[in-house]
Chain A
Amino acid sequence: MTVPLLKVDNLAVEFGPKANPIRVVDGVSFEITAGGAVGIVGESGSGKSITSLSILRLISEPPGRIVQGRIEFNGVNLLELPRSKMPDIRGRDIAMIFQEPMSSLNPVMTIGDQIGEAIKLHEAMTGEERRARVIEMLRLVGIPDPAGRLDAYPHQFSGGMRQRVMIAMALACNPKLLIADEPTTALDVTIQAQVLDLMHKLRRTLNTAVLLISHDLGVIADVCERVVVMYAGRVVEEADIRSIFRTPQHPYTRGLLQSIPRLDDDRDRLYQIPGSVPLAGSVKKGCPFYERCSLRIEKCMNKMPPMFSFGPDQRAACWVTASQADAKEKEAALQ
């Protein structure tokens, strides 16, 4: 049994005053193996970004705080590390890229200096070596004429190019895990295709594990091997990529898959999930999807379902589909 690279176990994050906290992430668990690619998919308020920020302990305290759980990276619980040790982990072992390539780069520093700074922090190198490394990274992410662009400033790059620079910066120190929070959301479709293609290429060459946060199931399907579906701060389903798209077990996953417009279907109408996404932490008891669920039974209102196993690689938190699967299994056993 291999030790996973990253293991998040029963994580909970609260915001607001201690007396009346809002739990925006509750009982989230998942694992990433070395070189693996896991996607967290969810809508606004699902807690997916907070989960990713918690891993690097980037949640601003106050108002936020991690109230329970473990985040093990290579067997070390990051939540027990002294705060002063975290900067060593960030960038060197775990790197992160954000949605906004515009504001994530310092406008008054050259591209070369910014990537160089990331390297300088974690690796002892001479100026020459560092320069060569920066050029190599820029070439790797597909910036044309990398040596010539070293002294350019971020505003001289387009959005897609800036995201490439961000990726180069994140990968400069050969991290074992790359957390990408909506890396292509701000980009146009054709540019998104380029960036996704680049991520594939980098995974093949560098063998970096990827945790991809996105609301877009298409992007997730493209990059990931496993998927964690979050809704209102909880994991509602977790499975390998094929099971999620072929045999989704949580009604929310099913609804989501059916409601997204696709290029290749000729349905006259889209399937729709009624209602709106609940505010983070507004569901106090029972299944968070109860309000909008088409399969709901009375039990769902009062009792949060645990994660049931559906096959070796799939787990979902639903009372109804779990009992249906159970019944089916018994039937099969009888025959």
Chain B
Amino acid sequence: MTDPIIRVNDLGKTFGSGMRLSLAKQADEVRAVDGCSFEINRSETLALVGESGCGKSTLGRLLLRLIDATAGKVYFENTELTDLPAARMRDMRRHLQMIFQDPYGSLSPRRTIAQIIAEPLDVFGLVRSGRQRRERVADLMTQVGLSPSFMDRHPRQFSGGQRQRIGIARAIAVDPSFIVADEPVSALDVSVQAQIINLMQDLQKQKGFSFLFIAHDLAVVRHIADRVAVMYLGRIVEIGPKKQIYGMPQHPYTQALLSAAPEPDPDRKGKRIILEGDVPSPKRVPSGCSFHTRCPIRQDICGIERPPLREVAPGQLAACHFAKPFPIPRPTSSQAVPA
């Protein structure tokens, strides 16, 4: 029944573990990603959510092998990507594309829009003539809502939202089957974010690619995700279908994240779980459950034994010894905004 396009098995990445002469070898190691396993189904959108430094961007790059893993395996349609030779990996990139966070930095400043969008087409020899290339670029620009007449302009002349559209056009140019989007809207103005989220949602429906959508904000992915994974200090602490994660989160960190975001509603001030302290440095991940230093429901065992991800409801997994449903209180339809 399930048809995973991406399978991730015990994936890990430790930075600074290479050759080093210093004695403080252990202390320098940063475990950015640690023992992550999950699957992404065909045409599914998995949202990966977590605070800064939780390793979500690293995980996204590991899947596309923009950085090499130090442990575990990634499979794309039964091909193991993690040990593929560089040349074969490059061929695989036709199916695996990425949309970047920074719409200002991710477009080469000295190249025209047409050159940027056509680059993947050229790499994989998908266009034969200059005319065909321009036609294809014009078509792609129309699909992302840009006027093809701007084809020969340079990125600096466009606004953030327009640049992100260009980045999306580049990613869908080769018709990939899997796209990683790393915080694609967090650098954009509020009124433009919705445009880009809707655009990506529609393109995904239309083209059927699978999607890993990385964000730091649970609200942003609510409309686009099928399933949500929550990361804390390099580990996935909860993963499950959207409805359950938003309605019945089981891990105390997910619950805190959901309640911490200030809602644009003056009648719901200050009703939130406030976590103590800061996120610990990934150089010194706490023993046992890495969340136990801030957890409101911790007990003695949490500092000793690391809880595994276990099924707490159909399709929903949480890594907590004391996982229990925690319905997020929601007033009935507070939406009174006239159209």
Contacts and interface: CB of A to CB of B under 8 A. Distances in A.
Contacts of B162: 276
A245 B336 CA distance: 8
A22 B191 CA distance: 23
Contacts of B123: none
Given A197-B270, A277-B159, A254 B201 contact: no
A269 B223 contact: yes
B263 A262 contact: yes
A149 to B, nearest CB: 14
B261 A272 contact: no
A220 B335 CA distance: 17
A297 interface: no
A190 B51 contact: yes
Given A190-B51, A254-B339, A276-B161, A221 B265 contact: yes
A190 B257 contact: yes
Nearest to A197: B274
Contact of B264 (A43, A221, A247, A277): A221
A219 B219 contact: no
Contacts of B335: 265
Interface string A287-306: 00000100000000000000
Contacts of B330: 264
Interface in A139-171: 158-161
Interface centre among B262, B269, B294 (most CB of A within 10 A): B262
A258 B270 contact: no
Contacts of A194: 274-275
B132 interface: no
Contacts of A256: 190-191
Interface of A: 43-44, 158-161, 188-194, 196-197, 200, 215-222, 241-242, 245-248, 252, 254-265, 267-274, 276-277, 292
The 4 closest A-B pairs by CB, nearest first: A218-B262, A259-B194, A188-B51, A193-B260
28 contacts: A159-B278, A188-B51, A188-B52, A188-B216, A189-B261, A190-B256, A190-B257, A193-B274, A197-B274, A200-B270, A215-B190, A220-B264, A221-B269, A248-B337, A257-B264, A260-B194, A261-B194, A261-B217, A261-B219, A261-B222, A263-B258, A264-B263, A264-B334, A270-B198, A272-B191, A274-B195, A276-B161, A276-B162
